[in-house]
Structure 1
Amino acid sequence: MADNLSSDVIIVGGGVVGSAVAYFLAADPAGPDSITVIERDPTYETASTPRSAGGIRQQFSNPENIEIGLFGHHFVSHVAEYLSVDGDCPDLGFREGGYLFLAGPDGLDILRQNHVEQMKLGCDIALLDLVALEKQFPWLNCDGIAGAAFGRSGEGWIDPNTLMQAFKRKARSLGVVYIAGEVSALEHDRNRVSAVMLADGRRYAAGMVVNAAGANAGKIAALAGVSLPVVPRKRNVFVFDCRVPLEPAVPLLIDPTGVYVRPESGGFICGVSPPADQDPDGDTSDLEVEYHWFEEVVWPALAHRVPAFEAIKLSGAWAGYYDYNTVDQNGIVGAHPELGNLYFANGFSGHGLQQAPAVGRAIAELLVSGGFRTIDLSRFGFARFASGALVLERNIV
């Protein structure tokens, strides 16, 4: 094995978050001389990013998440300025179809409170009463609905794999080195991580280490003796066709039951997050689709909410994993309070793709200048778990 391997920054995980960190670090003129990304599955066959629904939104309740969403929209809308290589611009397939959050009587006040925060920050979100909702979306059954919030612009969905590959391609063009390997140990003492060991025996001395290992982030943190509350949680995505044309086009619709649906390639994709008592920690190697969620929960909810969906044909499905933060379901961003050169970009609980541009930029700012320079994500730091200052988000999907 080669001796004396080292890197100023080692990023564990080459998915969309890790590659976003790598890109923003490499693009900074004051950035480190050497950046190495370690990815255990360079085919990304089982990675979470390509298996996501690809959503981009600002409809959150926390100002930090709203600002992250605003930058996410800016980034995908101006991707040519960031990720073009030799004049070749990636086509993310961004469809600005909007998010439509439906609320029953019990959820209407929360929707209104969220809307106030969103409007303060310049989002283009409309509150719709029942008259406006039925007029704008005549195919909708508004039984049990008291109102809705609709993203008129700035929200929609992209092809997730294209964004991930574009980050990686650009990072490599800027000198970032990607290596295939599985991290087996982190050499550390009380103050820092000194080296990253791979299963094949390679050892990389590390100046700084970024944990961007997605659903496996908790396992990586444990190698440094850190208890990180991030576990894999399986999510099933179902694909169906509907023979009835719906006009205007269906946005990314979120029912009060938690069931979501959006258009995809002439058909639709849909899914739901299970209730807490039916949402066990998983193993990322298990990608078997659990069809009972479609049959027992998703389809009945969709057929009720959109009568045209009573007669649909299931045409495909896949499963992937959230990097689920079991404490407050929000991202964990920043340095460990004791292992000062170990940084976290973890626990996004299904929002990693859309939050990757802002989080990648934020981690790069921390590593280069020692603080956040654009969006202050201090509240998302690891220390909140000890202090109890949790970040509670009311718009988790």
Structure 2
Amino acid sequence: MLSVKFFNHIVHANKNILRPYSNNILNLCIRHYRKDNPFVKTWKVVAKDVPEFLGINKRSTIYPEHVDIVIIGGGFIGSATAYWLKKRAADGLSIVVLEKDITYTNIQNNISLGTLTRHFSLPENFYLSQYGTEFIRTAKENLGNDVDVQYNPNGYLVLAGEKYADKLEETVTIQKEYGFKNELLTSDEIKIRYPWINTKDVQLGCIGLESEGVINPWALLKGFMQKSQQLGTIYINGEVVGFEMEKQRDVLMEGVAPGTFEKISRVIYRTPDNEEHTIKFAACILAAGHKSGEIAKLAKVGQSDGLLSIPLPIESREYEVYSIENEAKKTGLNTPVIMDTSGLWLRRNGLDDNLFCGLVPLMAEDSKTLSKEDYYKNIIEPSLNNRFPNTIGTQVRTFSSELQDCNTYDDTGILGPHPYHNNLYIAAGFGKYGS
């Protein structure tokens, strides 16, 4: 769901009017893997190709002085936005993507688990997930014949205890009205199908029968970057360090003193050789993940008064992904992605012998003060051992640390124009779900 509540919060506090905006964002997330992950192995194979398809080795770097749209951040959301804008407008829009790591050398720190799910309760998310999964199924047609996202439709099982069973049943009914194919399972039916799951405190489960599973997210990101550049997008290796503003004395805005309104008109960025450049733009899209809040400050968001008094509530949340060794053989090849009642998730690591698990980052402030060891002992381990008793006494190791851009206001994505800077569009805070 999109964080309309956050924009309304700014508007209500300053008595202004929110102008909504929408766009298609894929259901993806930010991740960090160690070197032995198969996605990282894929990256090592294709890393040498990145400068080639971005044109770094083919020509001198172009530093445009003005464009229609500047996108800050060349990850999943930024690159997908560039692709769709160029797909729809072609040469009608000039677009630059500013990315700190243009060769994606540190892509290992931002690789997704690539999980696809359609378990949502709002029509907006139904449409997004339907469109997104269909796009991924036809990735070769959309992005190029060399793009193989390695889609594995192994399903996604959501579990519900007594407290949320009615809500899950209601959601499934709505989903079916929108053409979703899924199946409600009782506690006994779950136990028969997946005997390694403890279902004593589970009342209902729901598993999708299509369009759910996992993909290779690096292949998808590479496809978006490559295709958007073929369509004319320019990628520049640069770190945003500021904005330039222009006085617009004829603009009247409630809550802003007449003659004092300032519009952001240029972005200032620094290249790796420490040179600074500026680009004049008509619109800027901020899709810099967990860095979005800090970059927004450069446009005085949260640093002034009135409509600029409230900061963009995006921060980084780090949490661990754990590997349960030698357990995949017991659960079988048809192991779905599982979302537990506690927020714990579990999935198989491809054809390897281990399982991955983790917990959706908690928003509670007290969880931030726990050490990684205490977090595992007090939060992860009890949930893991309760739902999957076979893991008791097995070897569980920390596999990686993951970063998510979390919206601390209401834990949903923020998508739309800032109420003051109406040419600054925010696309951040989607965290694990991306929609």
TM-score, length-scaled by structure 2? 0.73
Quickly say closer, same or farther: Cα 1:180–1:292, change in 2 above 3 A: farther
Q: How does 1:54-133 map to 2 (within 5 A)?
A: 54-84=114-144, 87-88=145-146, 90-133=147-190
Cα drift, residue 239 of structure 1:
2.2
Would you say 1:233 and 2:317 are equivalent positions? yes
Using the alignment, how far apart are the partners of 1:313 and 1:53 within structure 2?
Answer: 21
In 1, are the aligned partners of 2:90 and 2:231 still within 8 Å (CA)?
Answer: no
Provide the rounded CA distance (Å) in 2 between the counterparts of 1:245 and 1:126: 24
Name 1:242's counterpart in structure 2: 326
Deviation at 1:161, TM superposition (A): 1.9
Which residue of the partner structure matches residue 5 of structure 1?
A: 65
Stretches of structure 1 lacking an aligned partner (at least 5 in a row): 282-288, 356-397
1:149 deviation in Å?
Answer: 1.2
Whether the 8 Å CA contact 1:25–1:32 is kept in 2: the answer is no
Alpha carbons of structure 1 residues 212 and 135: separation in structure 2 relative to 1, 3 Å: same
Give the corresponding residue for 1:339.
421
Alignment partners' CA distance in 1, 2:376 and 2:390: 17
Q: Is the 8 A contact 1:35 1:177 kept in 2?
A: yes
Q: Which residue of 2 aligns with 1:278?
A: 366
CA–CA distance in 2 between the matches of 1:115 and 1:2? Answer: 51
Q: 1:254 is matched with which residue?
A: 339
CA distance in 2, matches of 1:152, 1:325: 31
Query: For the residues of structure 1 that align with 2:385 and 2:119, how far apart are their CA atoms?
Result: 25
C-alpha distance in 1 between matches for 2:99 and 2:218: 15
Deviations 1:278-334 (A, max 9, x none): 3549xxxxxxx9354344432332232123323533355111221111122222222
- Equivalent residues, number: 343
Tell me the alpha carbon deviations over residues 103-126 of structure 1, each in whole angstroms, 9 at most, x when there is no partner.
111111221222233222221221
1:21-64 CA distance string (max 9 Å, x none): 01111112456442110011235455698333221111012221
For each residue in 1:357-392, what CA deviation from the matched residue of structure 2 results, as whole angstroms up to 9, or x when unmatched? xxxxxxxxxxxxxxxxxxxxxxxxxxxxxxxxxxxx
Relative to structure 1, the CA distance from residue 3 to residue 269 in structure 2 (aligned partners, 3 Å threshold; closer, same or farther) is: closer
RMSD: 2.5
Is the CA contact (8 Å cut-off) linking 1:333 and 1:345 kept in structure 2? yes
Q: Is 2:94 aligned against 1:34?
A: yes
User: Is 1:24 the counterpart of 2:106 in the alignment?
Assistant: no
Equivalent residues of 2:367, 2:375 under 8 A apart = no
Q: Which of 263, 285, 290 is matched with 1:215 structurally?
A: 290
Query: 1:264 maps to which residue?
Result: 349
- Give distance in 1, aligned partners of 2:427 and 2:138: 23
TM-score, normalised relative to structure 1: 0.79
CA distance in 1, matches of 2:367, 2:111: 18
Counterpart-to-counterpart distance in 2, 1:274 and 1:48: 24
Query: Shift of the alpha carbon at 1:144?
Result: 0.8
Question: Secondary structure, in 3 states, of the residue corresponding to 1:340?
Answer: coil
**For residues 264 and 336 of structure 2, what CA distance do their matches in structure 1 show?**
45
Counterpart code for 1:269:
F
Greater CA drift, 147-156 or 220-229 = 220-229
Structure 1 contact 50–160 (Cα < 8 Å) conserved: no
Equivalent residue for 1:162, pick from 219, 225, 243: 219
How many angstroms does 1:14 deviate by? 0.3
